[in-house]
Amino acid sequence: MVRLEDGDIIHESLERFAKENEIRRAQVIALGALDTGSQLVVGPKDGRASPVVPMRLCLDQPREITGVGTIFPDARGEPSLHMHIATGRGEGTVTGCVRAGVVVWNVVEVVVTEILENGSVRAMDPETGFEMLDPRP
């Protein structure tokens, strides 16, 4: 269980937590709220263009969130979080990736479930430029 505090950046905080606790692989669920100025990656500008040009959305008000993700080691062996959240305020909802910098408003509660006896890693895919999951046994 992880409690992220006001001002924490979600992906940085969870990667640091995983490293400090020697968690190499995990699934993650989160709920709470994000703060003004948080940014989401909300898709590629053109879904088939290469190289991929990401679209970012800067959020101008605090919003509720719920999210799911995974942690796997990258090419350097460091924990790498891939998490998408749905965030809403009133009747509007947006979904995207937290890598651009999602800042906690007040609190985000996170359940980290470690995955044992698995060799999966994130490996750079030269075609997309993304670190893609390589699901090894």
What's the pLDDT score for residue 19? 98
- pLDDT tens digits along 76-103: 999 999 999 999 999 999 999 999 999 9
Is residue 86 in a domain?
yes
The CB-side HSE value for 53 (13 A sphere, CA atoms) comes to 3
Is residue 137 in a domain?
no
| Average pLDDT of the chain, as a whole number | 95
Distance CA 22, CA 49 (A): 38
Is residue 123 in a domain?
no
What's the pLDDT score for residue 48? 85
**pLDDT confidence of 47, banded at 50, 70, 90?**
confident
- pLDDT tens digits along 115-127: 999 999 999 988 8
Range of the structural domain that residue 110 is part of: 2-43+54-116
What's the pLDDT score for residue 62? 98
Is residue 136 in a domain?
no
Is residue 37 in a domain?
yes
**pLDDT confidence of 69, banded at 50, 70, 90?**
very high
What's the pLDDT score for residue 114? 98
Residue 90, domain CATH:
3.30.1330.80
Residue 29 belongs to what H/E stretch? strand 26-34
The CB-side HSE value for 43 (13 A sphere, CA atoms) comes to 6
- What's the number of domains the chain is made of? 1
